[in-house]
Structure 1
Amino acid sequence: MSYYADQQFQNLIPENFQPGEYEGCSFSQCNFAGMNLQGFSFEDCSFTNCDLSNCKVPGVSFRGVSFDSCKMLGIHFQSCNPFLIEFSFKNCQMDYCGFYNLQVKKTIFNSCRLLEADFTMANLIGSSFAGSELSGAIFDQTVLEKADFREAQNYRIDPELNRIKGARFDLDGLPGLLGKYGIKIG
């Protein structure tokens, strides 16, 4: 397997992106939409202004990877390698992404759009969704203890189906927690 360290990649297209181990690399303005990333491993890498929509990620390792201002529609992260998985997202468009049953504590999803993302049975202890748009996102048997939902919008979280002890919410977010009870606030 090829090994790449501390390299910068800009404007890459799938034909020029080879499977291998990438460590300390940065990717900027690359278009990997629809690509199968099986056989890839990323450690301490950053992706900025990249399109990874509908990428297939079976067995892919993400360790210490940051995504900033990326388009990442429909990625099923639950199929990637769960061992030491760690990533963060800022200003990313992540509609229809799946995190089913992943152990992704302390993950940052700041100012992201996560329409209909699936967090069913995920462990998100200490994660941050600050400023994110969560319309239609699914939280079912999700561990959200100490998670930060301040300034997040349009979430629906059932306190009876999810663990939310110590999670932080704005007053504006109360309808997202109490909606099923038909309570009118304000």
Structure 2
Amino acid sequence: MEEYQTDEDFKDENYAEKRLPRGEYENCTFENCVFANSDLSGTIFAECTFIDCDLSMAKLHKTTFREVKFKDCKLMGLHFDDCNDFLISFDFEACLLNFSIFQQLKLKNTRFKGCKLVEVDFSGSDLSSSVFADCDLSGATFENTNLEAADLRSAWNFVIDPEKNKLAKARFSKENLLGLLGRYNIKVE
């Protein structure tokens, strides 16, 4: 029997030791919970908020995230590309997303605010109109990525090849333009 929880608050739970019951969670809040290395496969999260949680290396096979907010969470090494991509939508604030994979996902209008996105793979994703505010994108992969109208003005450490990505109307600052020119081996002083 699958769980159905709505408008519930889950606090200080360790789901690495005992599995979160598979089912649907709607408008729930998870605060200071540990999901590291746990199996969240097939679970549905709709309009949920995760605050100060650790989901690092969790299994996300066919997991559904619809209008889910993550704040101050550790989300390292997650394969978001394994999720159910129907109506997938996120908001990330002050999260650690290093080594996560978002390949081939439609993530229009996604907000990344104050996040570390080191070695994250965005290959083939649609990030049009997304915002990367105050984000570290060291080693992030952008290949065949749609960044049209995306805002990267306050992002840093990114390398984006304009010939391999869609960048129409994307916004950059003068200070971070070097991230677009790296392939040309030129020096800007």
1:2 Cα deviation after fit = 1.1
Q: How far apart are the structure 2 equivalents of 1:130 and 1:2? A: 36
Map Cα deviations across residues 75-107 of structure 1 (whole Å, 9 max, x no partner): 000000000101110100000000000011111
For 1:51, the equivalent position in structure 2 comes to 54
Identity of aligned residues (%): 44
The SS at the match of 1:129 is strand
Q: How far apart are the structure 1 equivalents of 2:67 and 2:167? A: 26
1:18 Cα deviation after fit = 1.2
Q: How far apart are the structure 1 equivalents of 2:133 and 2:173? A: 10
1:185 Cα deviation after fit = 1.5
**Structure 1: unaligned runs, 5 residues or longer:** none
The SS at the match of 1:78 is helix
Match 1:174 to one of 170, 174, 177: 177
Cα RMSD (Å) of the superposition?
0.8
1:16 Cα deviation after fit = 5.5
Match 1:97 to one of 100, 113, 131: 100
Map Cα deviations across residues 101-121 of structure 1 (whole Å, 9 max, x no partner): 001111111110000000000
The SS at the match of 1:180 is helix
For 1:19, the equivalent position in structure 2 comes to 22
Q: How far apart are the structure 2 equivalents of 1:130 and 1:159? A: 20
The SS at the match of 2:153 is coil
Contact 2:151 2:170 in 1 (8 A): yes
Q: How far apart are the structure 2 equivalents of 1:56 and 1:109? A: 22
For 2:31, the equivalent position in structure 1 comes to 28
The SS at the match of 2:132 is coil
TM-score if structure 2 supplies the norm length?
A: 0.97
Match 1:85 to one of 61, 85, 88: 88
| 2:10 counterpart of 1:3 | no
Counting matched residue pairs gives 186
